[in-house]
Amino acid sequence: MKRAIHNRDKSYEGIFYVAVKSTNIFCRPGCPARMPMEKNMVFYSTARDALFAGYRPCKKCKPLELSGTLPAWVKKLMEKVETLEGKRIRDREIRIMGIDPARARRYFIKHYGITFHAYQRSRRLSDAFTKIREGNKLDEVIFSNGYESHSGFRDAFGKVFGKPPGKTKADECIVTSLYQSELGPLILGATSKGICLVEFSDRRMLEYQLKTLRKRFDAAIIPGENKHIDHLKAELNEYFAGNLKTFKVPIVYPGTEFQMKVWDNLIKIPYGRTISYIDLAEKIGLKGASRAVGTANGMNRIGIIIPCHRVVNKNGQLGGYGGGLWRKQWLLDLEKSH
């Protein structure tokens, strides 16, 4: 990490942040500011950790703002996966591409929660799942996706989807993708019917939310893209630029009857406006249930689109927010300024 700082290596963007004790700020690895002394460097894996440690973001490299694109070497790997159509990229081939396999492993674990090789397997299985649902013959699917035998494919498929490939034609899966927002990485999830997940990647409840999604949809969660995720990414770009006030991407949000009643009313809160937990409880006909409303608010899996950030305390104070109060304030400020 020290070497990356000295070389101002931008390929480490998003992998770690460096805080400087003497100035009380934190930066990206490629920050153009004056080089800090090594004894003053403190490293953090996320911007959130640096913020909670009391450091403020650098005004030159702006570590909380959109990074723009993936590091070139990561983009190169992902493009390779998509162009090989089911063939595996082994460590030897990764090295030939000029990339350290260990570095790829660390990056993918950091940003996707799985190794690069697991990412490849998931993409192959995702493609296989789609082809099986479309009616392709099992033999064609197995051998076109890099598997050498029926048993190997069935074992891999079963671990991800929980059932044999022959029983999946009518089933659903949830594809997930990473979106680099102004406030840090967002995990986006979608079924074939619409968006079902928009969560900050550092939220403590993320693992629980994923578990709930699997149960609610009876579906596996795998990395990938679909038309709804592409649609949402375009809308999020416009939202963070201050140009979008109403999301049009389809959403699906099953929950308890009470939760869905709360979430339905959250969607009705106008852009740039706020409502109190007490008023929201009265709006849904449950006067005095503000605490229960707050709990349902916190269980919302589709942040920003279902705008739970627009609910505040009766006295105007922010209250709670799963993504952190600083994010809630940022979103409210964005909407009020437009």
Q: Which residues are catalytic?
A: 308
What is the C-alpha R_g of the chain?
22
Distance from C-alpha of 302 to C-alpha of 233, rounded to nearest angstrom: 14
Distance from C-alpha of 57 to C-alpha of 80, rounded to nearest angstrom: 35
Coil vs helix vs strand at 338:
coil
Closest CA to 128 of 12, 54, 222, 253: 222
Which own/partner pairs from 70-75 qualify as long-range (CB within 8 Å, at least 24 positions apart)?
71/10, 71/11, 71/12, 71/13, 71/14, 71/107, 72/11, 73/11, 73/97, 73/98, 73/99, 73/103, 73/104, 74/104, 74/107
Rounded to the nearest angstrom, the gap between the alpha carbon of residue 194 and the centroid of all alpha carbons in its chain is 16
End-to-end CA distance of the chain: 39
Helix ranges (DSSP H) in 55-174: 72-83, 91-96, 101-112, 116-133, 138-144, 150-161
Pairing of strands 195-200, 184-190: antiparallel
